[in-house]
Amino acid sequence: MAAAAWHRRIEWWFRGAALVAFLAYLPGHLASRSGGLVEVERWLNHPVLLLGTAAVMLMVSMLVRFEFRERWAQLGCAAVLSPLIVVAVVIGAVTYFLGGDGRLVERKPDPSRPEHVLIITDVAFSIDPIYRVELLTGSGWTARHWDLGTWDEGDGFRRAEWSGPDRITVTTEHEARVYRVNGDGRLSGPEVTPR
């Protein structure tokens, strides 16, 4: 009976660790949306690492309840689980360190407000660029990011720039989009003009 109670306790420890990993991911996912906190997204928006950890912990918690008394059963379980855990750890580490933040193309502070910065990032995993344009407002842990949009090669992205005080213009081959930046850093618009 003591072994069964011990297995149950270990099972719930693994389930608790899975819940912690899942709950750690939620603020990062919410921060990845427009208006989210930049540092919270940077630290916690890692779905492969955190959700993968939660899935592995749940799988291990289900296996802990079984008693593998025979030597061959123990070796078989270890032979199946070990490569899965190693692959999950490697994929999580590679994703965490190489992340999907993309390659910074340009960083343009607002001439009238240095705490407002226009960021252009190439987020493509291939040779053809995909440009994500964001406005960063504030600094440190209170910095927020506001999405202006994502354009690929087919959209004919040309540039994004400050075109006046609290005004951003994104130019593509077919249109110009003008965004206004409110005092609190939020965006209004866009006003779209065909070219």
Alpha carbon of 178 to those of 3, 35, 43, 182: distances in Å? Answer: 67, 18, 31, 13
Alpha carbon of 76 to those of 57, 72, 88, 126, 193: distances in Å? Answer: 19, 6, 19, 40, 65
Q: Which residue has the higher pLDDT, 57 or 64?
A: 57
pTM here?
0.74
| Statement: residue 69 has pLDDT above 70 | no
Tens of pLDDT, residues 86-143:
877 777 666 666 555 677 889 999 888 888 999 999 888 778 888 999 999 988 899 9
Tell me what pLDDT residue 98 has. 58
Q: Inter-axis angle of helices 47-64 and 71-98, to 10 degrees?
A: 170
Q: Tell me the percentage of the chain whose pLDDT exceeds 90.
A: 27
